[in-house]
Structure 1
Amino acid sequence: MSGAVQAGWAPPSGPAEPAPTRGWPRWLLAATVLWAVLLGALTWWSVRHDPPTVREQRTLAEAGPVVDRAVGRLVAATGDGAWQLAAPRLDRGCRVTPMDDGASLARDLDVVVAEGGERALLEAVAGRLPADWRAGVHLGSDGPRLRADAGEFVAVHGRVVTAGRVRLTVDSGCRPDDVAYATLLPGYAGEPALDEALRALGRPAGTPEQVVAPCPGGGVARTAWVAAGSAPAPLAGLKPLAAGGVVVDTPEVYAYRRGTAVVLADATGEQVRVSASTGC
């Protein structure tokens, strides 16, 4: 071939024009819009009706009643032991997420037993808790530990604080702090067993404080307590009041039953603490 160009034909001077693109089919566009609307509706319904699935979605206001009811369950599970409720502890400043601050709520129930009976108490409490709490006692390097799940991401722990003293704790974990949590205590109506014990010890009555927790079957468990002067103090003056209902008898701790109340005098700290508790 000589490479001559055929007369009447001009070679292309640039790239070929792209083939025209076809738009989405109308049915596919309509299906996409419908799916977006359906997804938005499902999200709206889930936010308003589905229960939260992680702890970070449940606020402190929602966790508070669960914690209170769990404490009442623990009171009912302690049986005839000498116990007292402690004031709720609210700790702010924890991290719910790396970006959000929160607060945690914990409540303690202290139980005094004869020295050496700590593990038996923990096992007895675990056995009386609801089956779905999956309570169990395990022996660790620091002694026996009770662990249970009260639901709604509320944890229950039990441990030996000192010889003869067990602490049961209900803990909400870190939550969004949506309210200023406060335990609404009924007005203190007086506890005859507490007043009687203070007179027997010759200690000033002071102004009693009171802590309550709802019982599983209705009503409330309560502890009224007072700091009755500096320790040490002889507790023998309480023995005439025990009337055969002694629960704990040591030089620094004396507990006995008086009617429906458990009276506990504790001289292990700097102040003598005397309490009267009525259970579920």
Structure 2
Amino acid sequence: MSGAVQAEYAPPTGPDASAPKRRRWLLVATVAWALLLGLLAWISVRDDAPTVREQRSLAEAGPRVDAAVGELVTASGPAVLELIPARVERGCRLTPLADGATLTRDVEAVGAAGAERELLEGIADRLPASWRAGVRLTPDGVRLRADAGEFVSVEGRPTADGRVRLTVETGCRPVGTGYTSAGGASAGGAGGAEMALAGALRALGDPADTAPELVTAPCPGGGVARTARSATGGGAATAATALAPLATGGPVLDTPEAYAYRTGGVVVLADTAPGHPHVSATTPCP
């Protein structure tokens, strides 16, 4: 065995000697920058006024949504079936540090069974040109798509034979003071919708003395479209038999889950679909 002593390696003195130190400083700087950005985002969400349209609150977006519903009612014309109550869904994320909410309103329209695309195309043709409305076949089926302005989107889709649903949505917004539903106060006292609803409920044997739920939308040419709704427990077969004598002409809709008819200028719908059976009466835009 050799008696030679092996010399120890000398510590590196070249360009790589400071690499670990630089990596540590880079990591510290990155973490500090991320913390700073998070702090600035939190301050901005807390203190800054909205600077872009999609940051407008539900209270600010509400009138645009209500006006869009009125445009859809007008474009649907005699096909309007009913206005659906507004929905506010909380829990969406504006930023990692701020929650928001989405406002959605719907209009139901009815046409001939099997002609849902033609119904959507007719509605799209009558919407304002600035909405750039169009109907396309998508992987999810036939869809109407439009832009109502101020980052409010519109979509239409078939829901059943002869029925389509037109949906107006804000996307995720700051809640602010919240959305005030366009209720019936602006439309005055009881009108044709309420009277037609009361007559339908009496024919179905349901109590008609409770105040109905009112859903309205401003019409672009003035006036108000109005739906009065009330829960019911009647079946579809019973509805067709009980309501047919009230109809002006034949039924507008007659399916296993729904029966609709016109009486004067009002469309009455008895919908017995599972989950939300109800009767509604709707007066469209003038």
TM-score w.r.t. length of structure 1: 0.76
What displacement does 1:94 show?
Answer: 1.1
2:204 to 201, 211, 215: 201
* CA gap 1:263/1:230 in 2 versus in 1, 3 angstroms: closer
CA distance in 1 between partners of 2:260 and 2:113 (Å) = 14
Secondary structure at the counterpart of residue 218 of structure 1: coil
Q: What amino acid sits opposite 1:277 in the alignment?
A: T
Instruction: Tell me the residue number matched to 2:141.
Output: 143
Q: Match of 1:101?
A: 99
Distance across 1 between alignment mates of 2:127 and 2:251: 26
Using the TM superposition, give the Cα deviation of residue 184 of structure 1 relative to its aligned residue in structure 2, in angstroms: 4.4
Tell me the distance in 2 between the aligned counterparts of 1:183 and 1:260.
25
CA-to-partner distance for each residue in 1:32-79, whole Å, 9 max, x for gaps?
A: xxxxxxxxxxxxxxx99xx954413x2222211000000010011112
User: 1:180 matched to which residue of 2?
Assistant: 178
Contact 1:82 1:256 (C-alpha < 8 Å) held by counterparts = no
- Specify the SS of the correspondent of 2:172: coil
Q: Is contact 2:73-2:80 (8 Å) kept?
A: no
1:121-160: per-residue Cα shift (whole Å, max 9, x none)?
1101100000000000010122210000000010001112
Which deviates more from structure 2 when the two are superposed, residues 90-99 or residues 185-194?
Answer: 185-194
Please tell me the residue identity of whatever aligns with 2:70: G
Distance 1:272 1:239 in 2: 18
The letter of the residue matching 2:218 is P
What SS does the corresponding residue of 1:72 show, helix, strand or coil?
A: helix
Distance 1:71 1:155, change over 3 A: same
Does structure 2 retain, via aligned residues, the 8 Å contact 1:105–1:173?
Answer: yes
Q: Which runs of 5+ in 2 are unaligned?
A: 1-47
CA displacement at 1:208 relative to structure 2: 1.3
- Distance in 2, Cα, partners of 1:52 & 1:245: 53
Question: 3-state SS of the aligned residue for 1:75?
Answer: helix
Using the TM superposition, give the Cα deviation of residue 87 of structure 1 relative to its aligned residue in structure 2, in angstroms: 1.0
- Using the TM superposition, name which of 202-211 and 221-230 deviates more: 202-211
* 1:181 to partner: Cα distance: 1.5
8 A Cα contact 1:82 1:248, kept in partner: no
- Cα distance, 1:101 vs structure 2: 1.6
Q: Look up the match of 2:259.
A: 254
Map 1:1-280; keep pairs closer than 5 Å.
52-56=51-55, 58-187=56-185, 189=190, 191-205=194-208, 206-234=210-238, 235-244=240-249, 246-269=251-274, 272-280=277-285
Q: CA deviation at 1:180?
A: 2.3
Q: Distance in 2 between matches of 1:186 and 1:156?
A: 23
Instruction: Please say if residues 68 and 214 of structure 1, whose CA atoms lie closer than 8 Å, have aligned partners that are also in contact.
Output: yes
Q: Give the SS at the match of 2:70.
A: helix
Q: CA deviation at 1:231?
A: 3.3
CA contact (8 A) 2:108 2:163 kept: yes
Residues of 2 paired with 1:138 and 1:93: CA distance?
A: 31
CA contact (8 A) 1:82 1:113 kept: no
Task: Return 5+ residue gaps in structure 1 as ranges.
Answer: 1-46
Aligned equivalents of 1:60, 1:193: Cα separation in 2: 33
* CA apart distance, 1:257: 1.4
Does structure 1 conserve the Cα–Cα contact (< 8 Å) formed by 2:57 and 2:178? no
Contact map agreement 2:258 2:273 (CA 8 A) in 1: yes
Distance 1:104 1:143 in 2: 24
Q: Secondary structure at the match of 1:182?
A: coil
The structure with the larger Rg is: 1
The structural deviation recorded for 1:270 is: 5.1
**Percent identity over the alignment?**
58
- Aligned-partner residue type, residue 253 of structure 2: V
Q: Go from structure 1 to structure 2 and tell me whether the alpha carbon gap of 1:271 and 1:139 turns closer, same or farther (over 3 Å shift).
A: closer
The Cα RMSD (Å) is: 2.1
**Relative to structure 2, which stretch is displaced further, 122-131 or 86-95?**
86-95
TM-score (norm 2): 0.74
